Amino acid sequence: MDEIQVVATNPGGEDALNHLIALLIIAAVVFLTNALTASLGALVRERQSFVISDYFDNLIHNKTTRIDYGFFEHPKYQNVFFRALNEASFRPSRIFYGIIGLLQNLITLTVMGGILLMVHWSVSIVLLVVTLPVTFIRLRYARSLFNFKRENTDRERKVNYYNRLLTSREYAKELRTFDLGPLFRKRYHEQKNDWRQNQYRMLKSKTIREVAVQVLAAIAVFSVYGLIAYRAFQGQLSIGDVVLYFMALQRGYAYLQEFLGRISGLYEDSLFLNNLFEFLHLRESRPPLREEERYPFPARMKEGIRFHNVGFHYPVNDRWVVRNASFSVNAGETVALVGINGAGKTTLVKLLCGLYKPVEGEIRIDGIPIDHIKWKERVDNISVIYQDFMLYNVTARENIWFGNVRRESSDDKITDAARQAGIHEIIDDFADGYETTLGTLFENSEQLSPGQWQRLALARSFFNQSQIVLLDEPTSALDAFSEAKLLKYIKTITENRTAVIISHRLSTIKMADRIIVLDGHQIVEEGHYEELLQKEGTFYSMVESLKQ
Ligand SMILES: Nc1ncnc2c1ncn2[C@@H]1O[C@H](COP(=O)(O)OP(=O)(O)OP(=O)(O)O)[C@@H](O)[C@H]1O
């Protein structure tokens, strides 16, 4: 400003003009550099955020695929997952850029502080004093918000749950047929409003405090403006000085606010990032032996499976699901586990697969405790079809290959498994055959019926040439004709294998060499079909009730 004034009042002054031009060139270079660094900065930032987000995705996937299955069935840990996954999507990048921004602010603030000190030392102190209370309020709010969200995770998940009920494909059918939409919407809003109101109350109280403090800050800032104006009137400052000081003060205040805002933002982000670390630090249960010390799966099972006094209750409560379960499944034998709903049949299968560990007793395969056997070898040698098996929205070939991804997915092996499960003709009829994507998620997919999906799951199990086959209700979704056909295949597939079949269907149960009956969380009967009927005990009553 002062230079322009000099040139304006002294038009002939060549030195002043040259000086002004030089200043303008410097300003243009600074302007251009600023614009360029802003564009390049945005590009680099975008790339960096991909790297950070990939890194954390990787950490999360590594954890979710390794932690004990039990975590997924425990509401407390589902809260932990929910909080962690919520934060992981944006907190790490925000912290990264928060720190960079903080360093940039620090440099600018140091320069501004120097200029302000030239006005008067007290100016910087005044600015600091007026901005600190707001920061303090924000830090407290961040802590309260963090505590509030932790205490209310269950409720937030419930809101999320109703949202899923209203929007997901898997619920859309029943939602329509039972006209559940209005009820779910009401529940969603009730849960959400309650939760929102509490959060809004906290935000309101924080805003009221902030406004009060901002008014005080404004008074202080305008007092400093007054001081600058006063010194200008006294002739101690030129017009350029006044502009410079006003700008410095204005910018200084803005930068200081930004700086302290970043600090409170970083505090909030680091608090919430604890949620992610809480999840990443979930303890993975250690097997009794290290992988290299563990035993291979018996190349050819001789004895079979033995349950020794196995007792189990789920981690959520102390209610015993099975107690004192001692039984064996001899090598090559097919055993049917029967019992009323909730008797603990599926739980025994989960224990045998290693998804849970018995709370009491142990399970051995050919005399080796199952958790002493190498994990991968266990996977290769025990194939399972769960009651709620997965419908993978991938190609038909991959759906079968997922039975054992360490096996080569040659055409012969895949089609052989599909033939054994009676699903080959259906897949073959699709335009893209085994390369057809199944399900309804992606374009150009083919959807299967529940019974066809079940046959595909069986094909998956057949593809895995495992020594042990566990089938939890393998024929529940099949029609009588398909069941009769499939039973023939199940018989063939179990012939040279050790099999455990859970079923409520008499035709399937009859196929077994031996039947184990569960009742009242205990094994109450064991024997051949006819033998058990003659006893006229629990199994007999079950069969009679099935006939009615
Ligand atoms: N994840 C879980 N957490 C807590 N309890 C569970 C869990 N899964 C099952 N249970 C309980 O364990 C008991 C046995 O369940 P399980 O699924 O083993 O029965 P089931 O005999 O297979 O029944 P069904 O014939 O209906 O399939 C039930 O009382 C059930 O409530």
**So what's the ipTM on this one?**
0.97
* Closest residue by Cα to residue 133 from 270, 256, 271: 256
Q: How far is the CA of 237 from the centre of ligand 1 (A)?
A: 84
For residue 73, the ligand 1 atom closest to its alpha carbon is: 1
CB of 472 closer than 6 angstroms to any ligand 1 atom: no
Ligand 1, pocket-test mutation among 317, 340, 346, most atoms within 8 A of CB:
346
* Closest residue by Cα to residue 123 from 212, 251, 260: 251
Q: How far is the CA of 342 from the centre of ligand 1 (A)?
A: 5
Write out 364-429 in H/E/C secondary structure. Answer: EECCEEHHHECHHHHHHHEEEECCCCCCCCCEHHHHHHCCCCCCCCCHHHHHHHHHHCCCHHHHHH
Q: How far is the CA of 481 from the centre of ligand 1 (A)?
A: 30
Share of the chain above pLDDT 70, in %: 96
Q: Give the least confident one: 30-44, 218-232, 242-256, 474-488.
A: 474-488
CB of 316 closer than 6 angstroms to any ligand 1 atom: yes
Q: How many H-runs (helices) and E-runs (strands) does the chain carry?
A: 19, 10
pLDDT at 263 over 70: yes
pLDDT at 548 over 70: no
CB of 347 closer than 6 angstroms to any ligand 1 atom: yes
Would you state the pLDDT for residue 402?
Answer: 94
Residue scoring higher pLDDT (336 or 130): 336
CB of 474 closer than 6 angstroms to any ligand 1 atom: no
The whole-angstrom separation of Cα 455 and Cα 226 is 84
Mean pLDDT of 23-47: 84
Ligand 1, pocket-test mutation among 73, 345, 500, most atoms within 8 A of CB:
345
Ligand 1, pocket-test mutation among 78, 321, 359, 509, most atoms within 8 A of CB:
321
Fold of 293-373+468-475+497-548: Rossmann fold (3.40.50)
Closest residue CA from atom 18 of ligand 1: 344
Q: Which of 110-124, 249-263, 308-322 has the highest mean pLDDT?
A: 308-322
Ligand 1, pocket-test mutation among 347, 501, 522, 545, most atoms within 8 A of CB:
347
Q: Using alpha carbons, list the distances in angstroms from residue 348 to 151, 342, 383.
A: 35, 11, 14
pLDDT at 437 over 90: yes
